[in-house]
Structure 1
Amino acid sequence: MTTPPCIAFSLIIPIYRSASIIERLITRLEALDFAQPWQVIFVDDGSPDQSYTLLMHRLGSSPLAALVVRHTRNFGEHQAVLTGYRHAEGEYFINIDDDLQNPPEEALRLLEYANTNELDVVYGNYIVKKHNLFRNAGSGFANLTARLLLDLPDSYYLSSFRCVSRLIGKKVAENCSPYVYIDGLLSQSTNLISSLDVRHDPRDDGTSGYNLRRLIRLWLVILTSFSLMPLRFATLVGLGAAALGGLSILYILVRAAFGAVEVVGWPSVISAILFFGGIQCLLLGVMGEYIGRVYLTVYGKPQAHIRSVEWCGNLALPLNRQPSRSTEA
């Protein structure tokens, strides 16, 4: 019996509004020089343009060993990457963006570094970032929050350009929460994590899909899904407010004992009401965020649903292990 070839790595690429760059992306992938069998997994995350049609047409004449997984709608980048992990057959999973800012050639360097040093996770640390100012500021704030909550070294830039071992990738892919932050899941699964300086190219076409709303949603997932720090902070704020109120009462009682009580004006009263009312609303909001996420998770809000899974290109290489989930994630 012939032993099927081992797949060295799976390149996972979420696709969203990528119609204008599909041709260049696949051409770059076809030019990769790697001796062992490897595969590429495209995850169409409900792209509203012609990305899927153009991708399937281009792969029809491509030598790539490719798998195209199609979501029923847009669920988000992290959900798309987890879908890719579930279908990946390589010994390492490497995910890159579809805009070619992560050079496919640099993926081979991540793979070699992870393999040589026996690491579970290697992040691409951009030497010079080519994102715009807004994206850099938003990503920097999200990374700062993640490092504080996940207890990661300051030297790690948690980029979406990462190489993950099959062992950890499959463990992470077992997560079915609708609120996904892959770097949080990885940090909880292993401490064999490092980074490697890589090139970051200017965006070939279009604009980043990360607007202010998406960045805030990502920040909230980091804040509430992997730590109880916001609840502990709310407790400290409540204790501080209670202590401040107690000191105020003590101050008034002492002044009353010496007959020095004065009738204060309404501005001070209104200010106090607004201050403490604002704190109460903040604490209720924090608790509500946690309760809401628990409710939606128990209710069964989906992480992602899959419309179709299709093999394209060179089908001989990746069929040694069948995907574990082919219809739903």
Structure 2
Amino acid sequence: MSTIKATVASKHSLSPREPGALPSISVVAPAYNEEEVLETFYERVTNVLTAIGAPYEIVLVNDGSRDNTLAMMHAMRARDDRITVVDLSRNFGKEIALTAGLDHARGDVVVVLDSDLQDPPELIVEMLEGWREGYDVVYGVRSQRDGETWFKKATAKAFYRIIGKISRVQIPQDTGDFRLMTRRAVRELSKLREEHRFMKGLFAWIGFPSKPLFYRRDPRVAGTTKWNYLKLLNLAIEGITSFTITPLKVATLLGSSVALLAFLYACYVISKTIIHGDPVRGYPSLMVTVLFLGGVQLIAIGVLGEYIGRIFNEVKRRPLYLVNRMLPSSLEDAADETSSSARTEQVH
């Protein structure tokens, strides 16, 4: 069992709930080609939720899987009406699939859980303790990451440090999607409908009293990860461009610095030629200078293009996702429902 250490990370005033209070629980799990692990996931989550004794549902989101993932979801739903199956019309990516699951969750609290079981569902019990203390968000912090390469660990650590320095939103370090949220936190999160979604940043943006839960992340139970380094790089770019304009400021500063150096060097060349005379020479240094300036310009244009491309996609106002079919669970709607603005974007 993972070792757990919880500390308070919020100065908000809290309103503790009853010590033995049991909210209805929604577990949201996006899945893309997870046929090898889905049955094990269902069994472990069901065992945990049954032991807790609260009303619950498991919201399974099929993100355009090409294997038997959807068929397995339907089979589970046929024998257990506490499962909601949300079948997206195609593969929209994990961030949007997670959004679809949150939109369809109906519990008083919502737990986001990866279907690969790297985040132990047994920690839901500890998260509920944080909820009873009055927190709206209890998020998992990875104190150790088993089953991952040193390169992935190093780049992930570097990314969290960089975005923590340049973002106006304080995004907790070494934190994934694994967390518990109250209904009001989910409701406010559902109002954020940008297409380029970095969910870890959006989770932090909404604020509310939050508490970390430190745990040891396990390796995958079965199957292979669907993330490669290119996808992780794109996710990092999404995070940086979604929560800071620092790259634009850096490009401006770099361009200004290079222009100033070029002007000073031009003054030096002109004065040297006028005073001392200077034969035509320096072709290698000239080529280096031209290539350097061209590279700086291309980098600045690329950074600018990243932001313009995101503006282009956002202004079209397309729905985040389309639903091919949705099979609801037997869990009754929470008293405080998800805002209607999120529901209107879904096509059933």
- TM-score norm. by structure 1 comes to 0.89
Q: Is the 8 A contact 1:7 1:89 kept in 2?
A: no
* Matching residue of 2:57: 39
* Other-structure match for 2:121: 104
> When the two structures are superposed, what TM-score results if normalisation uses the length of structure 2?
0.84
Q: Residues of 2 paired with 1:269 and 1:123: CA distance?
A: 55
Contact map agreement 2:195 2:320 (CA 8 A) in 1: yes
Q: CA deviation at 1:154?
A: 8.4
Deviation at 1:242, TM superposition (A): 0.9
What is the CA-CA distance between 1:327 and the residue it aligns to? 6.9
* Distance of 1:319 and 1:192 partners within structure 2: 24
Alignment of 1:50-69 (within 5 A): 50-62=68-80, 65-69=82-86
- 2:39 aligns with 23
CA distance in 1, matches of 2:75, 2:210: 38
1:205 aligned onto 2:238: no
Change (3 A) 1:177 1:154: closer
Q: Is 1:163 matched with 2:180?
A: yes
Q: C-alpha deviations, 1:118-168, integer Å up to 9, x for none?
A: 223222122321242144244334323332233566863221212222212
Name structure 1 gaps, 5 residues minimum: 1-5
Per the TM alignment, residue 216 of structure 1 is displaced from its structure 2 partner at its CA by 1.5
What amino acid maps onto 1:49 in structure 2?
Answer: D
Looking at structure 1, the residues matched to 259 and 34 of structure 2 have their Cα atoms a distance apart, in angstroms, of: 54
Amino acid at match of 2:144: V
Q: Within 5 Å, which residues of 2 pair with 1:116-195? A: 116=133, 118-133=134-149, 134-151=151-168, 156-190=173-207, 192-195=209-212
Query: Is there any run of 5+ residues in structure 2 with no aligned partner, and where?
Result: 1-21
SS across alignment from 2:276:
coil
Asked whether 1:276 is paired with 2:293, we answer yes
Question: Any residues of structure 2 matched to 1:251-270 within 5 Å, and which?
Answer: 251-270=268-287
CA contact (8 A) 1:65 1:318 kept: no
AA aligned opposite 2:206: S
In the aligned structure 2, how far is the partner of 1:71 from the partner of 1:141?
33
Instruction: Give the SS at the match of 1:128.
Output: strand
Distance 1:320 1:171, change over 3 A: closer
CA distance in 2, matches of 1:327, 1:58: 27
Q: Secondary structure at the match of 1:156?
A: coil
Post-superposition CA distance 1:31-70 (Å, at most 9, x none) = 11112212221111111111010121123223x6221111
> How many pairs does the alignment contain?
320
Taking only aligned residues, the RMSD between alpha carbons, in angstroms, comes to 2.4
Question: Taking structure 1 as reference, are residues 179 and 154 closer, same or farther at Cα in structure 2, changes over 3 Å only?
Answer: closer
Cα displacement (A) at 1:228: 1.0
